Amino acid sequence: MSASRLVIIGGSDAGISAALRARELDPAVDVTVIVADAYPNFSICGLPYFLAGDVPDWRSLAHRGVEELRATGMELLLEHTARSIQLEAKTVAVADAAGGMTELAYDRLIVATGATPVLPPIEGLHLPGVHVLHTMQDAFSIQGMLEECGAESVLVVGAGYIGLEMVEAFASRELTVTVVEQLEEILPTVDPELGGLLRREIANHGVDVVTGARVESIQQKDRALVVRGTSGLERTVDLVLVVVGVKPDTELASGAGAKLGTKGAIEVDRRMRTSLPDVFAAGDCAETYHQILRSPTYLPLGTTAHKQGRIAGENAVGGARVFEGSLGTQVVKVFDLAAARTGFRDAEAEAAGFDPLTVGCRAFDHKAYYPNAHELDIRITGDRMTGRLLGVQILGHRDGEVAKRIDIPAVALSAKATVERLNMFDLSYTPPFGSPWDAIQVAAQEWTRKRDEALVGA
């Protein structure tokens, strides 16, 4: 049954993708998107580059402008907040910026409420000068501290993707930067061997890197902030940024009775249907299907949100599209290096029931005799007995095509290929860009040699 009235709660990646796909397939459908702020379809992933000054105009972060979106036929309710869902009446209670309430009727509903920042138990989180970074308004607040208040020093809590991007952004503005990570190495989504190389890179750019310490309190002293924590941590700075991760925003859906699943995300099937009748969910508020696990997991990524939103929008107007799943493919640029991963690391593969072997290798991104060749550190994880590829990590120079090279094993993982199968991929070659055996293939051959040696030794 196609929906004649489709209501979407949330105007970021998943919500707008859903609206566009629904209108594309059924131009007659009445699509209304409820947006809590005035910034629909903005690239949250681009905020660090706006704050660094790489993107001078924040308006450039919009994938599409408001008028362009409205020209597709969707209705945008900007600065409106969905308060509750009434399943029997099939309505959503919506508050406008002035506090006025209205009831919005739907035939099908898509919940795309995204995620909210995790706030660790730190005393003083709500002091002036302490910030998170998740919305356009967050970015404007930080920009104000930098430009109007003249902040000269900053401490970043959390050394994940956003944390490291913001470390670079602040350093590029010539602030004194400290980054604190409670785990033993930065960027804990890759192996410590690669995290250590990243640590050296950011330290070489003058950043004070503190690992194995947990921030416990922030106190105001005159116009400065004193940050204290375990392992003798104490720093006095002008600004504190807390970016330790996100959690799914499920209050609205769970309040209507939706089942929650992995890490408290909204439980969905592979057609993005929730446990509630005629209600779909997509994006950072929802689970995602993992292609290797073949079961639900939680991976709050923009790429996943776009795909899930498109599928939810299609199915809400009568489609039957199945979401093929995620692998957690990610990449981050940190100064002159880039780090990427896809699939499982060793411990993750073991927890999933595989018998993993992880082998590291160094190979040039293109022929070493051609100028500006850079070595890539590649770690391949595969199953010892079956040879199945389970995951890949890459770290290398930002000009070394790390981002596109990780896509090779990502495609191989989707095809359930073996590590050996990587060698048969027909990849392009010319000396300025690669080698007859691509760096990924060189690493695959090293994995096979190590696996064969181990089997003989056994």
Task: Give the DSSP letter string of 387-403.
Answer: -BEEEEEEEEETTS-HH
Minimum mean pLDDT range among 44-48, 147-151, 360-364, 367-371: 147-151
Q: Is the pLDDT of residue 292 over 60?
A: yes
Residue corresponding to tokens 């707008």: 16
Question: 224 and 237 in contact (C-beta within 8 Å)?
Answer: yes
Q: Is the pLDDT of residue 298 over 90?
A: yes
Instruction: From 304, 452, 299, select the one nearest 384 (Cα to Cα).
Output: 452
pLDDT at position 148 over 80:
yes
pLDDT digits (tens, 9 = 90+) for 403-437: 999 999 999 999 999 999 999 999 999 999 999 99
Measured in degrees and rounded to the nearest 5, phi and psi for residue 426 equal -90, 90
Identify the pLDDT of residue 2.
54
Contacts of 252 (CB under 8 A, 6+ apart): 9, 82, 83, 84, 85, 111, 113
pLDDT at 454: 80
Query: Quick check: 458 pLDDT over 70?
Result: no
At 221-248, the pLDDT tens digits run 988 999 999 999 999 999 999 999 999 9
Nearest to 110 by CA among 79, 150, 82: 82
| Predicted pLDDT of residue 99 | 87
From residue 25, give the alpha-carbon distance in Å to each of 3, 278, 313, 317, 362: 12, 18, 9, 8, 47
> For residue 295, what pLDDT is reported?
96
Q: Which residues are catalytic?
A: 45
Which residue type sits at 309? Answer: G
- Helix/strand/coil for 16: helix
Report the distance separating Cα 222 and Cα 73, nearest Å: 53
8 Å CB contact between 284 and 45 = no
- Of the pLDDT bands very low, low, confident and very high (cuts 50, 70, 90), residue 3 is low
Average pLDDT score over the chain: 95
Report, as an integer, the average pLDDT of 330-337.
97
Work out the pLDDT band at 329, boundaries 50, 70, 90: very high
Quote the CA–CA distance of 106 and 317 in Å, as a whole number.
12
pLDDT of residue 188: 94
CB 211 within 8 A of CB 185: yes
pLDDT number for residue 417:
98
Check residue 242 and give its pLDDT.
Answer: 98
For the residues 177-196, what does the mean pLDDT come to? 96
User: Per this entry, what is the length of the chain?
Assistant: 458
Q: Report percent pLDDT > 70 for the chain.
A: 99
Give strand pairing partners of 297: 288
Average pLDDT in the 333-360 region?
A: 97
CA 156 – CA 192 distance, rounded (Å):
20
More confident site: 351 or 149: 351
| CA distance linking residue 206 with residue 227, whole number of Å | 19
Task: Return the structure tokens found at 149.
Answer: 């208040």
Residue 1 has pLDDT above 50, yes or no: no
Q: Which residues pair with 181 in a beta bridge?
A: 211
What is the set of domains in the chain, with CATH numbers? 5-45+60-116+247-316 (3.50.50.60), 130-244 (3.50.50.60), 336-457 (3.50.50.60)
pTM of the predicted structure, to 2 decimals: 0.94
Q: Tell me the per-residue pLDDT of 272-290, one tens digit each, with 9 for 90 and over.
A: 999 999 999 999 999 999 9
